[in-house]
A = this chain, B = another copy of it.
Amino acid sequence: MENSKDISMAVVRRLPRYYRYLEDMLARGVTRASSAELSRSMNATASQIRQDLSNFGSFGQQGYGYNVEMLRDEIKKILGLDKEYRLILIGAGALGQALVRYEKFEKKGFRFTGLFDNDPNRIGTFIRDIEVWDVQRLQSFLSGNPVDIAVFTLPRDGAEKALDIVTGAGVKGIWNFSYRDLRISGGTKVESVHLTDSLMTLSYMLSEGNK
């Protein structure tokens, strides 16, 4: 994977979908597939799949096709899913609670180890078996507990301050649901999910359809 730094984010963003479909195929007992079969399952063109996968080495064999399990394992490794990640949640409102309760994340190796909020009504409550702590304790928590990913589900006004604390403590990944785009310097990686933007994109598509 020496060249993997050159892979475009457009390709990277398709990999989780490939991974999901390969898991599906394995669950159905499919062990081997041609790129045409992958294409039908994945709803992508065979040439795009071949091209995307060729970024990561050579998985297909002429006349045999792809070994589904090997391909799944390789993509798993590329996506960093062969490791475990410790997550904290900052903002334990309805969305934050939903994320902590979503069991699929844990199965993929993403485990919440700390939850923080500034609302006295939430501090001291439990989500699953984890207690919500006062966000004032965030810094001291981070000094004693290594964290890989901080999940931001807090209102925009708190996001900047929380960002300073977590990046200052060396947290390398931010999964950002706050309305604000976070500006990061240094080696921190941010992946944002802007739900409102997504809904607006849908209203654009609906509105286009009516013209």
Copies in the complex: 2
Which of B13, B148, B200 has a CB less than 8 Å from the CB of A79? B200
Could you tell me if B148 and A197 are in contact, using CB atoms closer than 8 angstroms? no
Q: A17-B181, A94-B102, A97-B98 are in contact. Are A80 and B199 (CB under 8 A)?
A: no
| A26 / chain B contacts, CB cutoff of 8 Å | none
Q: A16-B197, A108-B196, A211-B4 are in contact. Are A191 and B181 (CB under 8 A)?
A: no
| Chain A 164-204: CB-based contact to B (< 8 A → 1; otherwise 0) | 00000000110100010101000101010111111111111
Could you tell me if B173 and A104 are in contact, using CB atoms closer than 8 angstroms? no
Instruction: Number of A interface residues at 8 Å Cβ cutoff, please give it.
Output: 59
- Measured in the bound complex, the distance between the Cα atoms of B19 and A172 in whole Å is 29
- Measured in the bound complex, the distance between the Cα atoms of B190 and A199 in whole Å is 10
- Measured in the bound complex, the distance between the Cα atoms of B204 and A196 in whole Å is 25
Could you tell me if B189 and A206 are in contact, using CB atoms closer than 8 angstroms? yes
Could you tell me if A149 and B202 are in contact, using CB atoms closer than 8 angstroms? yes
- Measured in the bound complex, the distance between the Cα atoms of B18 and A197 in whole Å is 10
Which of B94, B110, B191, B197 has a CB less than 8 Å from the CB of A13? B197
Could you tell me if A206 and B17 are in contact, using CB atoms closer than 8 angstroms? no
Could you tell me if A94 and B101 are in contact, using CB atoms closer than 8 angstroms? yes
| Chain A 73-117: CB-based contact to B (< 8 A → 1; otherwise 0) | 000001111010100000001110111011011001110000000
| A208 / chain B contacts, CB cutoff of 8 Å | 4-5, 80
Could you tell me if A79 and B191 are in contact, using CB atoms closer than 8 angstroms? no
Which of B1, B80, B101, B203 has a CB less than 8 Å from the CB of A206? B80
Could you tell me if B199 and A110 are in contact, using CB atoms closer than 8 angstroms? yes
- Measured in the bound complex, the distance between the Cα atoms of B13 and A148 in whole Å is 29
Could you tell me if B196 and A193 are in contact, using CB atoms closer than 8 angstroms? no
| A175 / chain B contacts, CB cutoff of 8 Å | 198-199, 202
| A203 / chain B contacts, CB cutoff of 8 Å | 79-81, 83, 85, 109-110, 173
Q: Does A143 contact B (CB under 8 A)?
A: no
